[in-house]
Amino acid sequence: DFLKINFSNSLPSIKLIQIINQLGQVVLEQHLSLDENHSYELNIKSLASGMYFINVLDSERKSNYNSTMIVKN
C-alpha cells in the first residue's frame, strides 16, 4: 500500500516526511526526493490499522504541512 502526496512547486525546501502514531511515536520517517510532478509515494504497507499524523518538514526540521490519515488493513 502506498500513500501518494502531491506538493505545489512553491515548497522547494521540503526535505522530510514523518508518520506519527497516536502515542506520538515516529513510526516512519523518510527523506524526500520529489519527482517531476512534485509528488512522492510513501510505502505504508508496514503500518498497522489506526490513525496516524503526517508531518512534512523543511531543511530546518520545521513543519510545513500537517495532516491525518487512517490506515485500514
pLDDT score for 4? 85
For residues 44 and 2, is the Cβ–Cβ distance under 8 A?
yes
Task: List pLDDT tens digits, range 6-17.
Answer: 777 655 566 789
Phi and psi at residue 47, to the nearest 5°: -80, 135
C-alpha cell at 2: 502506498
Summarize the confidence of residues 50-61 as an average pLDDT.
Answer: 88
Most confidently modeled of 10-19, 27-36, 46-55, 58-67? 46-55
Higher pLDDT among residues 72 and 7, named by residue: 72
Higher pLDDT among residues 33 and 19, named by residue: 19
DSSP labels for the chain? -EEEEE--TT-TTEEEEEEE-TTS-EEEEEE----TTSEEEEE-TTPPSEEEEEEEEETTS-EEEEEEEEE--
Task: List pLDDT tens digits, range 28-47.
Answer: 999 877 666 777 888 999 99
